[in-house]
Chains A and B, each alone.
Chain A
Amino acid sequence: MTTPLRRVAASALLLGLAGVAQAQATDPNLARNLAATCANCHGTNGQARGDMKPLAGLSAEKIVAMLADYKSGAQPATIMHQISKGYSDEQLKLVAAFFAAQPAKK
């Protein structure tokens, strides 16, 4: 709970959605397009196969918290600490909201 994004995570659905809604109003496909950059490893719409981590259907709060910890370095990783730093906090919130709205893989 030390980084700005991590603090946001605790109340993402309250504080975050206003920003998310605003960004989506200007580009309705933004969250979808950003989330599609994750599909190569995490599956189309976050429905991952095999050992890779599925993101579809997780809560937005949980995804934002995970990403915040990768970004801050609180959570050690092989690669996600490097990738998460390439996205703004606002973009990561959009990605999290998109995956949260997807059905988990059957």
Chain B
Amino acid sequence: MTQTIIRRRSLLGAGAALAATALAGCAGMSSSPSIGRVVVVGGGYGGATVARYLKLWGGNVEVTLVERNADFVSCPISNLVLGGFKQMSDITRSYDGLKAVGVKVVRGEARAVDVAGKKLRLADGSDLPYDRLVLSPGIDFMTEQIGGLAAALDSGRVLHSWKAGPQTVALRKQIVDMRDGGVFALSIPKSPYRCPPGPYERACMVAAYLKTAKPKSKVLVLDGNAEITSKKGLFEKAFKDHYSGIIEYRPNAELKELSGNVAKLEFEDVRADVLNVIPPQRAGDLARSAGLVNVNNRWVGVDWLTMESTAAPNVHVLGDATFPAPAMPKSGHMANQQAKVAAAAIIQLLKGEAVSATPVVMNTCYSFVTARDAMHVASVHQYDAKDKTFKTVPGSGGVSVAANQIEGRYALGWADNIWADTLAL
């Protein structure tokens, strides 16, 4: 990576100009000197939150957020868009709140990390120098594990919709265009994957739509796992109470190969009108190209006191890309919580202070089973100094007794509040 930068020295001017602009912007906002430059990549739940909290808690930290998309689009609640119960505008928020609190938002694509030189290279050739880099790269797909999947995804014929945005819009269209009496097949990868209860919520949301709009249709859930991986009893009850005769659930149904609209499993072929494949996942591409993937050739190991990568100094990693602590889910809520641990630690590191020794994170995931009824799973994770990891507190956390409307209201209230907390709305 260093060689790349030397070869492209002529392009460094653009980066320097960018950095100078950032400095000028911050200088105008405060008379006290900057305590350091933090560059954040990825404006999802992790990255946006760390940018916001660095400003909220850090005062004179210069924060630049690099994000490829114009707006924040939430994965949580996106299954309701697939069911037709929410619109894209309901799950889309702007980055204006972050700009208003002093975060410099750069729309662009991060290309490479120069760990030794403490610079982030962008796709346009410019460099962003940093004291601390935070990557919140999310997940990317291991399409090579399923024959024919890469081509099917590239053509747009098969959709994953496991990153909210255009994929959400396109899958909703496929569902609406499906004939009455058609089969919507949903392939779920083996754990671990982003948002454990998400696939089962999706099955419910698609079934809720089909139940009234195309009542002869089926939802076929092809689960690569031996059983439902989250809120099992509650989802089984929802499938039975609301979608009997619509949802058919098959465990141990790992997708091996795609051929046209046929999903090939180990012992049978399944034909579907709409085939929605959630592919197996690993840490996002940037984590891999930066050399940070050091657990199971798939995830990024982190120091839980600081969220700093165990593979590279001064580089912190958040969210779904990390190798989780025991029983820690890959969720937007957890990424937001990890981001606050990182923000507190980075400010202390920049000031040369000791980092907090007793961080706590917690998680809440709501899932809708009808347009109005939702249920949750919650957990609290305290740092264990002896084992240097987060551990759930015995006797705490748990799931709902039953899905109901009040939890449906709380689920939407959760979304409203976490979006505001993450994006400084």
Binding site for B on A (CB under 8 A): 27, 29-30, 32-34, 36-37, 39-44, 48-52, 78-79, 82-87, 91
Chain A residue numbers with a CB within 8 Å of B392 are 86
Q: List 24 A-B contacts (CB under 8 A).
A: A30-B356, A32-B344, A33-B356, A37-B337, A37-B340, A39-B418, A40-B337, A40-B364, A40-B414, A40-B417, A40-B421, A41-B364, A44-B420, A44-B424, A49-B413, A79-B407, A82-B378, A82-B396, A83-B362, A86-B360, A86-B381, A86-B396, A86-B397, A91-B360
Q: Contact mask B380-406 → A, CB, 8 Å, 1/0?
A: 111000000000110111101000001
Whether A78 lies near B410 (C-beta < 8 A) is yes
Closest residue of B by beta carbon distance from A43: B417
Whether B414 lies near A52 (C-beta < 8 A) is yes
Chain A residue numbers with a CB within 8 Å of B421 are 39-40, 43-44
Q: Which of A43, A52, A83 contacts B396 (CB 8 A)?
A: A83
Please count the residue pairs between chain A and chain B whose beta carbons lie under 8 angstroms apart in the complex: 108
Chain B residue numbers with a CB within 8 Å of A51 are 409-410, 413
Q: For window 303-358 of chain B, which residues contact chain A by CB distance below 8 Å?
A: 333, 336-337, 340-341, 344, 348, 356-358
Chain A residue numbers with a CB within 8 Å of B416 are 49-50, 52
Chain A residue numbers with a CB within 8 Å of B410 are 41, 51-52, 78-79
Does B193 sit within 8 A of A, measured CB to CB? no
What's the minimum C-beta distance from B54 to chain A, rounded to whole angstroms? Answer: 13
Whether A79 lies near B417 (C-beta < 8 A) is no
Does B56 sit within 8 A of A, measured CB to CB? yes
What's the minimum C-beta distance from B378 to chain A, rounded to whole angstroms? Answer: 5
- Rounded to whole angstroms, the CA-CA distance of A67 and B248 in the bound complex is 42
- Rounded to whole angstroms, the CA-CA distance of A37 and B378 in the bound complex is 13
Chain A residue numbers with a CB within 8 Å of B364 are 40-41, 79, 83
- Rounded to whole angstroms, the CA-CA distance of A27 and B424 in the bound complex is 26
Which of A30, A36, A85 neighbours the largest number of chain B CB atoms within 10 Å of its CB? Answer: A36
Closest residue of B by beta carbon distance from A37: B362
Whether A36 lies near B417 (C-beta < 8 A) is no
Whether A34 lies near B376 (C-beta < 8 A) is no
Chain B residue numbers with a CB within 8 Å of A44 are 56, 420-421, 424
Closest residue of B by beta carbon distance from A71: B396
- Rounded to whole angstroms, the CA-CA distance of A36 and B341 in the bound complex is 9
- Rounded to whole angstroms, the CA-CA distance of A27 and B355 in the bound complex is 9
Whether A82 lies near B360 (C-beta < 8 A) is no
Chain A residue numbers with a CB within 8 Å of B409 are 51
Does B361 sit within 8 A of A, measured CB to CB? yes
What's the minimum C-beta distance from A45 to chain B, rounded to whole angstroms? Answer: 9
What's the minimum C-beta distance from A38 to chain B, rounded to whole angstroms? Answer: 8
Chain B residue numbers with a CB within 8 Å of A82 are 378, 396-398
- Rounded to whole angstroms, the CA-CA distance of A51 and B380 in the bound complex is 23
What's the minimum C-beta distance from B398 to chain A, rounded to whole angstroms? Answer: 4
What's the minimum C-beta distance from B304 to chain A, rounded to whole angstroms? Answer: 13
Whether A52 lies near B379 (C-beta < 8 A) is no
Chain A residue numbers with a CB within 8 Å of B361 are 37
Q: Which of A30, A86, A87 contacts B379 (CB 8 A)?
A: A86
Whether B356 lies near A78 (C-beta < 8 A) is no
Chain A residue numbers with a CB within 8 Å of B53 are 36
What's the minimum C-beta distance from B321 to chain A, rounded to whole angstroms? Answer: 20
Whether A87 lies near B413 (C-beta < 8 A) is no
Whether B56 lies near A33 (C-beta < 8 A) is no
What's the minimum C-beta distance from A97 to chain B, rounded to whole angstroms? Answer: 16
- Rounded to whole angstroms, the CA-CA distance of A79 and B378 in the bound complex is 7
